[in-house]
């Protein structure tokens, strides 16, 4: 008769609070990172910081979703199948004023052309910018290296672009944005996206977050 060696693997779930420093940006940290980013990335990051939109949604955002007369921005279809509406007010208005100025470009022959993308690099979609992102984090003191004492492996601990989603959710909560404006995430402590009922609600949300600086 053989006795089987039964071993129990215990996985410790890390709390969100314990990972707060890596998962969020404080205002001064965010401004520090911006100071070291190339100009073509600054407004895209400011937008993500305010809204919590996914990286893919930010880089794909086009001007056909902007209604200048109404002062609104619409994302018709997001990852969960729901559209979203944002009011261009407060810091958001400043971002889109700068993006409007950056929309007019010149081609190789010097002929003027207009960019279709809101956030772009010389009219082209923002490609992989991990290197520029990491360099800005290092210079801003938001990245560090850890060496495993056993293996000697060096691990780089960076805050990812996804941290803007957590940060925006937290800041909306702190600004007093109600749950009927901020849609619940999988955990109660994070809000992932706007669930719009009234455009005025969105305007108040953006203005409240803008005033928290």
SS (H, E, C) the chain: CCCCCCCCCCCCCCCCHHHHHHHCCCHHHHHHHHCCCCHHHHHHHHHHHHHCCCHHHHHCCEHHHEECCCCEEEECCCCCCCCEEEECCCHHHHHHHHHHHCCEEECCCCCEEECCECCEECCEECCCCHHHHHHHHHHCCCEEEEECCCCCCEEEEECCCCHHHHHHHHHHHHCCCCCCCEEECCCCCCEEEECCCCHHHHHHHHHHHHHCC
Contacts of 208 (CB under 8 A, 6+ apart): 172, 175, 176, 177
Looking at per-residue pLDDT, the higher value among 35 and 6 belongs to 35
| Spatial separation of the C-alpha atoms in residues 203 and 109, rounded to whole Å | 42
The model's confidence at residue 15, banded by pLDDT at 50, 70 and 90, is very low
Average pLDDT, the chain: 76
Question: Is 122 part of a structural domain of the chain?
Answer: yes
Q: With respect to residue 69, please indicate whether it lies within any of the assigned structural domains.
A: yes
pLDDT for 95-146, tens place per residue? 999 999 999 998 878 889 999 999 999 999 999 999 999 999 999 988 877 7
pTM value surpassing 0.75 = no
4 is a domain residue: no
- 5 in a structural domain: no
Interaxial angle between packed helices 91-101 and 39-51, expressed in degrees from 0 to 180 and rounded to the nearest 10: 150
Q: How far is CA 148 from CA 9, 19, 22, 145, 154, in A?
A: 22, 19, 18, 10, 6
Residue 56 has pLDDT above 70, yes or no: yes
In a domain, 17, yes or no: no
Question: Is 105 inside a domain boundary?
Answer: yes
| CATH number for position 34 | 1.10.443.10
Q: Which domain holds residue 38?
A: 23-211
Q: How many domains, the chain?
A: 1
**Structural domain includes residue 14:** no
Q: Is residue 184 part of a domain?
A: yes
Per the model's pLDDT, the better-predicted residue between 147 and 77 turns out to be: 147
Instruction: Give the per-residue pLDDT at 77.
Output: 62
């Amino acid at each position: 008769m053989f006795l089987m060696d039964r071993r129990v693997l215990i996985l410790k779930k890390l709390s969100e609070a314990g990972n707060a420093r890596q998962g969020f940006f404080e205002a001064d940290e965010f401004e520090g990172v911006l100071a070291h980013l190339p100009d073509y990335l600054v407004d895209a990051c400011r937008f993500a910081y305010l809204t919590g939109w996914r990286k893919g949604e930010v880089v794909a955002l086009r001007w056909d979703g902007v209604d200048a007369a109404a002062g609104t921005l619409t994302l018709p279809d997001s990852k969960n199948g729901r559209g979203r509406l944002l009011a261009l007010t407060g810091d958001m208005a400043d971002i889109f004023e700068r993006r409007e100025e950056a929309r007019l470009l010149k081609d190789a022959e010097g002929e003027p052309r207009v960019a279709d993308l809101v956030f772009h690099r010389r009219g082209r979609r923002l490609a992989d910018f991990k290197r520029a992102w990491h360099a800005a984090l290092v210079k801003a003191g938001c990245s560090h290296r850890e060496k495993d004492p056993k293996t000697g492996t060096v691990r780089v601990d960076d805050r990812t672009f996804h941290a803007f989603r957590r940060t925006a959710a937290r800041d909306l909560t702190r600004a007093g944005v109600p749950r009927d404006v901020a849609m619940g995430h999988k955990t109660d402590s994070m809000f992932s996206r706007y669930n719009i009922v009234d455009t005025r609600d969105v305007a108040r949300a953006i203005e409240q977050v803008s005033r928290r600086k």
